[in-house]
Structure 1
Amino acid sequence: MLLAWIRRRSLNSPKYQPKPLFVSNWSPVLSPDVIMLLRRLPSTAVSITTTALCWRYTSPYFFSTQPRFQSLNSLGCYPKLSLLSFSSASHISSEFADLLAEQYSKRGPLKPGLYLVGTPIGNLEDITLRALRVLKSADVILSEDTRHSGKLLHYYRIKTPLLSYHKFNESQREQTVLKRLRQGEVVALISDAGMPGISDPGTELAKICVDENIPVIPIPGPSAFITALSASGLSTDEFTFVGFLPKHAGSRKERLMASASEKTTQIFYVPPHKLRQFLEESSPIFGDSRRCVIARELTKIHEEGKRKKLFQLTSQREKLHS
């Protein structure tokens, strides 16, 4: 059966307009069929399986278009946080910030170590209260892009110092960060979106900390490919997360052929400007009859989903790129 749809979220409530932190993207995910999921800023996620290639955008059908709550009373553990709702304002209210700070103080200080903190992949409401506490209490926050992450911290009135930490300066920063960790500081690591270390900086630093018996504490949060896969309708019992494909054409073809030989869902991240290339290269390897799912703007106002067979997507690649 072939399913195809594209929907946009039209939010009727003027208060439910989370400030868009991230530019639109495509993320592809692949399953025994294939899912393509357009991921954050410059990347897209795509996933392929041996049976079919599925293309789709995640639809509002899977996500409510209305605010889930106007207050945080329903959370139980924060009974005093009432009548506080998120909006398109540049930051939360000072009252909300004060109430959060009060709750933080009751829980005591964080133990020293490296905290891998998950951040929203598009919708500011998707950050957890635990993540906010860690970011507020840390001695320093390692950030992939300090200007980008600064928007998130400003929104939640967090004034913890930021230190740039990305793939181009990881090796230079490591000793500085390790020195601070050895001195007993609380160091938080965040990426531009999602969980650190998942196709983002953080893996090497976590490995070094483990080798030196420095605590590494994960603070769970959103993940683009898991979000897309969960709403794809494809098999989630087994899957392979491939991530970004190699830059070299030969290595890329080899990786695609390896994925095509597997029966489990295959998941790729594909930058928007390489979507056309992905379709043209994957079509002869996976076959035109395969289905592919592509998700765009996950968790954001214009969240979309579309599913078709690979040959149909290939013929529409110009439109999809736009």
Structure 2
Amino acid sequence: MSVPAPESMPIGKSSFQHALETARAAAGAQHYPAGALYVVATPIGNLADVTLRALHVLATVDAIACEDTRHTQQLLRAVGIDRAGNELMALHEHNEAEAAQAVITRLQAGQRVAYVSDAGTPAVSDPGARLVAAVRAQGLRTIPLPGASSVTCALSAAGVTGDGGFVFTGFLPNKSGERGAAVQSLAKESRAVVLLEAPHRITALAEALSALGVRPVTVARELTKQFEQIATLPCNQLPAWLAADPQRQRGEFALVLHPADQETGADTDDRVLRLLLAELPLKTAVKLAAEITGQPRNNLYQHALQLRDDAKG
């Protein structure tokens, strides 16, 4: 997820002076072990979502590892924290393994190091997971500071019901064929599925999801920002919804694919197979039914044999 743009950071530096003082009072007396990595969640758009503990830690640690040092410096200055450039370390997807060793060296020397991605909770579709794994492999401590997350934010506004929980899938593959196959694998998922997408790929994702028909999807765009938009609609209407207003294709996206209706899905599969059997040879009908429904061919073949035997009887 990208860092909040300057226009989405309307709160002035002076506005955070009281917050920083409050952060010191509320969090300063807590224990912050030396030689530990602090994984810090940062706002996904609205600066007011930063936590008091995050403010205190970012102001006091020995160094901050960042997905993008320029974005983090922008964030720090916006909340009134002044850190020298040499106190910020670049750690992103292209250098994570090498940069993790530099962080470990600091931790082994007894320093406290924070890690922040550009926005939201690190290591959730953002860099950070390899860093955390490397730190833990050295027997060093990792301390998470919870905060803003587009995943939980979108889920809380989606109104998903049921007891099945949810699956976090994140970004689907870039290539259209792989993306389509990934969508088909979600077709029978009985739990809600959370997806993330960038603005330049949201149209392609919408086209792929349209194959899921009337299954509901909640689209959350520009979460926590001034032009936040949340809408729930059938998957097959998503491409038209995006095309209806160019503004709807802007910003970062979190999508919640609602749980599949298992009974309806089974009825649909059965109807597809029956219709094909009425017009085609058994093997051809089974082959096409498997392609249409995504169900295993062997299962459909056995069901087709049963339907044929029932018809004879």
TM-score (norm 1): 0.68
Question: Structure 2 matches for 1:1-322, cutoff 5 A?
Answer: 22-23=4-5, 88-92=11-15, 94=17, 97-98=20-21, 100-101=23-24, 105-107=28-30, 110-160=33-83, 161-235=87-161, 237=163, 238-284=165-211, 286-287=212-213, 289-318=214-243, 319=245, 320-321=248-249
8 A contact 2:171–2:197 mirrored in 1 = yes
8 A contact 1:235–1:265 mirrored in 2 = no
What is residue 276 of structure 2 aligned with on the other side? Answer: none
After superposition, the Cα gap between the structure-2 partners of 1:171 and 1:312, relative to the gap in structure 1 and judged at 3 Å, is same
**Cα separation, 1, equivalents of 2:67 and 2:123:** 11
172-181 vs 157-166, greater mean Cα deviation? 157-166
Structure 1 residue runs of 5 or longer lacking an equivalent are: 1-20, 25-40, 42-85
Structure 2 residue runs of 5 or longer lacking an equivalent are: 251-313
8 A contact 2:158–2:218 mirrored in 1 = yes
Give the AA of the match of 1:172: E
8 A contact 2:41–2:119 mirrored in 1 = yes
8 A contact 2:210–2:237 mirrored in 1 = no
After superposition, the Cα gap between the structure-2 partners of 1:157 and 1:309, relative to the gap in structure 1 and judged at 3 Å, is same
SS in 2 for 1:231: helix
1:112-149, CA deviations, whole angstroms, 9 ceiling, x for partnerless residues? Answer: 21110011111111111111111111110111111211
After superposition, the Cα gap between the structure-2 partners of 1:175 and 1:306, relative to the gap in structure 1 and judged at 3 Å, is same
- CA positional deviation for 1:87: 7.0
**Cα separation, 2, equivalents of 1:236 and 1:186:** 42
8 A contact 1:92–1:155 mirrored in 2 = no
Q: How large is the RMSD of aligned CA atoms in angstroms? A: 2.5
SS in 1 for 2:130: helix
Give the AA of the match of 2:59: K
SS in 1 for 2:173: coil
SS in 2 for 1:228: helix
8 A contact 2:210–2:238 mirrored in 1 = no
289-298 vs 217-226, greater mean Cα deviation? 289-298
Give the AA of the match of 1:228: A
Give the AA of the match of 2:203: R
**Cα separation, 2, equivalents of 1:168 and 1:110:** 29
After superposition, the Cα gap between the structure-2 partners of 1:305 and 1:250, relative to the gap in structure 1 and judged at 3 Å, is same
SS in 1 for 2:143: strand
- CA positional deviation for 1:213: 0.7
SS in 2 for 1:253: helix
8 A contact 1:121–1:298 mirrored in 2 = yes
**Cα separation, 2, equivalents of 1:267 and 1:96:** 33
TM-score (norm 2): 0.70
Q: Aligned residue pairs: how many? A: 240
221-230 vs 252-261, greater mean Cα deviation? 252-261
8 A contact 1:144–1:165 mirrored in 2 = yes
- CA positional deviation for 1:171: 2.3
After superposition, the Cα gap between the structure-2 partners of 1:236 and 1:184, relative to the gap in structure 1 and judged at 3 Å, is farther
**Cα separation, 1, equivalents of 2:137 and 2:60:** 25
- CA positional deviation for 1:250: 3.0
What is residue 295 of structure 2 aligned with on the other side? Answer: none
1:271-314, CA deviations, whole angstroms, 9 ceiling, x for partnerless residues? Answer: 11111111212222x12x22221112211222222222223222
- CA positional deviation for 1:251: 2.4
- CA positional deviation for 1:104: 5.4
1:164-184, CA deviations, whole angstroms, 9 ceiling, x for partnerless residues? Answer: 111122122122111111111
- The higher radius of gyration belongs to 2
1:90-119, CA deviations, whole angstroms, 9 ceiling, x for partnerless residues? Answer: 343546545544655544654321110011
1:23-50, CA deviations, whole angstroms, 9 ceiling, x for partnerless residues? Answer: 49xxxxxxxxxxxxxxxx9xxxxxxxxx
**Cα separation, 2, equivalents of 1:229 and 1:192:** 21
Whose helix proportion is higher, 1 or 2? 2
